[in-house]
């Protein structure tokens, strides 16, 4: 625990908490989720998904135990009108589409820049 490594069940609960709208916030869960192909994970049967997640968990645990740094936790600050929440949701959707291969790197970057610009004009 002193290395910030929660149990596998804790990580699995965080990743599966919102269904396909996976939003992980704790550093170790972020590291684990980076090692999972989200599309294949959500399409897989329960046993296969469990194996994928367990494999990513073991790799992340080994990485941290050998001195690797955990990513910074994600922090969301919502504006009183909820606009930053909508922006975060839009950016998350754009990133998800990129992850699934529906858009290119350039399209992703362009769409995120447009979303941020639109949020600044509100």
30 domain-assigned: yes
Q: What is the 3-state secondary structure (H, E, C) of the chain?
A: CCCCCCCHHHHHHHHHCCCCCCCCCCHHHHHHHHCCCHHHHHHCCHHHHHHHHHHHHHHHHHHHHCCCCCCCCCCCCCCCCCHHHHHHHHHHHHHHHHHCCCCCHHHHHHHHHHHHHHHHHC
Q: Each residue of 52-64: pLDDT tens digit?
A: 999 999 999 999 9
Task: Identify the pLDDT of residue 122.
Answer: 46
Give the mean pLDDT of the chain.
81
Q: Each residue of 24-44: pLDDT tens digit?
A: 678 888 889 889 998 898 899
pTM here is: 0.57
Tell me, yes or no, whether 116 and 88 share the same domain.
yes
91 domain-assigned: yes
Q: Domain limits at 22?
A: 8-65
70 domain-assigned: no
Tell me, yes or no, whether 59 and 87 share the same domain.
no
Give the number of domains in the chain: 2
Tell me, yes or no, whether 61 and 87 share the same domain.
no
Tell me, yes or no, whether 87 and 117 share the same domain.
yes
Higher local confidence (pLDDT), 11 or 17: 11
């Amino acid at each position: 625990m002193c290395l910030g490594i929660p149990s596998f069940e804790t990580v699995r609960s965080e990743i599966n908490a919102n269904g396909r709208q996976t939003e992980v916030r704790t550093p170790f869960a972020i590291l684990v989720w980076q090692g999972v192909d989200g599309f294949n994970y959500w399409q897989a049967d329960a046993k296969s998904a469990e194996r994928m997640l367990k494999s990513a968990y073991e790799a992340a645990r080994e990485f941290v135990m050998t001195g690797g740094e955990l990513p910074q936790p994600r922090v969301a600050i919502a504006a009183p009108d909820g606009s930053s929440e909508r922006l975060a949701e839009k950016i998350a959707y754009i990133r998800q589409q990129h992850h699934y291969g529906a858009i290119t790197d350039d399209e992703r970057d362009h769409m995120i820049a447009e979303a941020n610009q639109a949020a600044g004009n509100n």
